[in-house]
Amino acid sequence: MRVRNKEIRQRRHRKVQKIKEHNREIQATYGSGQKAPKPAAAPKATKAAAADKPAAKKAPAKKKAPAAE
């Protein structure tokens, strides 16, 4: 009878181990129920980065025609 009990315990233990391993695989695949982290936002432009770029050239101001009186 003891041998039979031992076999039953071993079978139960293997079943539990199989379930635990399956749960670990699911957790590794889908995470632990937490939301997925958001992708990092692109760094915002700073004044230092803007200083590195040459300023855009403005068009020369047009001369006004003299007002006729």
Per-domain residue ranges of the chain: 1-31
Q: How far is CA 59 from the centre of its chain?
A: 44
Reported as a single tens digit per residue, the pLDDT across 16-35 is 999 999 999 988 887 766 65
- pLDDT at position 32: 66
pTM of the predicted protein model: 0.40
Q: How far is CA 41 from the centre of its chain?
A: 10
- Fill in the amino acid letter for 32: S
Burial of 45 (0-12, 13-18, 19+ CB in 10 A): exposed
